Amino acid sequence: RILIMNHCKDLLPIYLRFIKGVVDSSDLPLNVSREMVQHDRHITQMRNWLTRKILDHLKQWREEEKEKFLSFWKEFGQVFKEGVHVDRENKDRIVDLLLFQSSSGSEELTSLAEYVERMQSDQTEIYYLTGASRTAIEDSPHLEALKAKGYETLYLVDPVDELLAEAVTEYMGKKLRAVSKGVVEFGTDEEKKQAEEKLEGKKSEFSDLLR
C-alpha cells in the first residue's frame, strides 16, 4: 500500500534539477493518480520545505566549507542562477549565494556582499560588464574610466547573466549599473559638474563635426 514514483519533477523547482535524492512521505493519499500528484497541496509544501533546506545547506557550505561550495558552483552555477527568475519567494537567498568573476586583481570568484565590502568610499553603485569571456571584457574600453577611479567591476560571462542582470537591479541598497549602457557618472557632485562642463565645452569645440 505504497505509491512509488521514480521521478517527481514537482518536488523541486527547475533550477535545482541537478539535485538527486529520495523523499519518503506518509501525507500523500494512495488513491491519488500519478497525474494528480502535482496538484496536491502536500507536494507544494514538500517542495517549499526541500527548497529552503537545500538553500540553507548551500549557504552553510558558502560560509563554512568554501571549497565544497566552489566545486558545486563550478558544476552547477549557471543552472542555479536561473532561480533568480523562477523562484521569487527565495530570490534574496539565491542572490546571496551568487558568485562572479571581477576586476579585483585575482581570478577568485566573489559574491555581491564581498564586492560591497570592498567598494570605494565615494562609490554609490555596483558596476558590471557582460561579455563572452573574461579576456573579452578586460579588453573593453568601457573599463578605462572605472580603472582610473579604482572601482571594481563584476565580469558577467555566462549566457544567463544578461537575464540575471535584468532581475537583480539592487543589492544592499546599491544599484547595479551596466557600464556598457548609457553614460556612467563618477565622483562627487562637484566632480560630475566639472565633467559636464568639460563635455559641453567639447561639444561646442567640435560642433561642426556633430551636425
* β-strands 153-156, 125-130 pairing: parallel
Cα–Cα distance, 70 to 6 (Å, whole number): 30
DSSP label at residue 26? S
pLDDT for 199 equals: 66
Spans of the chain below 70 pLDDT: 1, 28-39, 182-199, 210-211
Question: Residues with Cβ < 8 Å from 63, sequence gap 6 or more?
Answer: none
pLDDT in tens, 31-75: 655 555 556 778 888 899 999 999 999 999 999 999 999 999 999
Cα–Cα distance, 188 to 193 (Å, whole number): 9
CB atoms within 10 A of CB 174: 16
* CA dihedral sign of residues 49, 51, 52, 53: positive
| Most distant CA atoms of the chain, gap in Å | 86
- R_g (Cα) of the chain, nearest Å: 23
pLDDT for 42 equals: 80
- End-to-end Cα distance, the chain: 82
Cα–Cα distance, 81 to 70 (Å, whole number): 14
For 76-97, the DSSP string reads: HHHHHTTHHHH-GGGHHHHHHH
pLDDT for 114 equals: 95
pLDDT for 29 equals: 66
Residue at grid coordinates 558558502: 62
pLDDT for 37 equals: 59
